[in-house]
Copies of this chain bind each other. A is one copy, B any other.
Amino acid sequence: MEFKISKDFIAQIEQYIEENREEQLQALLEDIHYADIAEIMEELDSGEASYLFHILDSEKTAEILLELDEEVREKILKNLSPKEIAEELDELSTDDAADIIAELPEGKKGEVISELIDAEHAKDIVDLLRYDENSAGGLMGKELVKVNENWNVLTCVKEMRAQAENVQRVHSIYVVDDDNKLKGRLSLKDLLTTSTKTNISDIYIPKVDYVKVTTPDVEVARIMQKYDLEAIPVVDELGRLVGRITIDDIVDVIKDEADKDYQLAAGISQDVEADDSILDLTKARLPWLVLALLGGFISVRLLNSFDAAMENHKELFFFTPLIAAMAGNVGVQSSAIIVQGLANNSISGSLWNRLIKEVSLSLLNGAILAVILILGSHFLLNKSYDLGITVSVSLISVIVIASLIGTFVPILLNKFGIDPALATGPFITTSNDICGILIYFSIAKMLLGF
Q: Which A residues form the contact surface with B (CB < 8 A)? A: 1-2, 31, 33, 35, 42-43, 157, 160-161, 164-165, 167-170, 188-189, 192-193, 207, 209-211, 223, 225-228, 230, 247-248, 250-251, 254-255, 258-259, 261-263, 265-268, 272-275, 278, 281-282, 285-286, 288-290, 292-297, 299-301, 303-304, 307, 310, 314-315, 317-326, 328-330, 332-333, 335-338, 340-341, 344, 346-349, 354, 357, 360-361, 364-365, 368-369, 372-373, 376-377, 380-381, 424-426, 429-430, 433, 437
> Are A273 and B164 in contact, with the CB atoms below 8 A?
no
Q: How many copies of this chain?
A: 2
A323 contacts which chain B residues (CB < 8 A)?
296
> Are B321 and A433 in contact, with the CB atoms below 8 A?
yes
> Are B329 and A274 in contact, with the CB atoms below 8 A?
no
Apart from A1-B210, A157-B192, what 12 extra A-B contacts exist at CB < 8 Å? A169-B189, A170-B189, A263-B336, A268-B337, A272-B337, A275-B349, A286-B368, A288-B333, A297-B322, A303-B318, A321-B321, A325-B430
List the 3 closest pairs (A to B, CB-CB), nearest first. Answer: A296-B322, A266-B336, A258-B258
Within the complex, the shortest CB–CB distance from A437 to chain B, in Å, comes to 6
Contacts A35-B227, A259-B340 given; does A320 touch B322 at CB 8 Å: no
> Are A285 and B251 in contact, with the CB atoms below 8 A?
no
Within the complex, the shortest CB–CB distance from A395 to chain B, in Å, comes to 8
> Complex: how many Å from CA A259 to CA B376?
34
Contacts A167-B189, A361-B282 given; does A274 touch B369 at CB 8 Å: no
> Are A262 and B263 in contact, with the CB atoms below 8 A?
no
A336 contacts which chain B residues (CB < 8 A)?
262-263, 265-268
Contact of A347 among B168, B275, B314, B376 (CB under 8 A): B275
Closest to A403 in B: B285
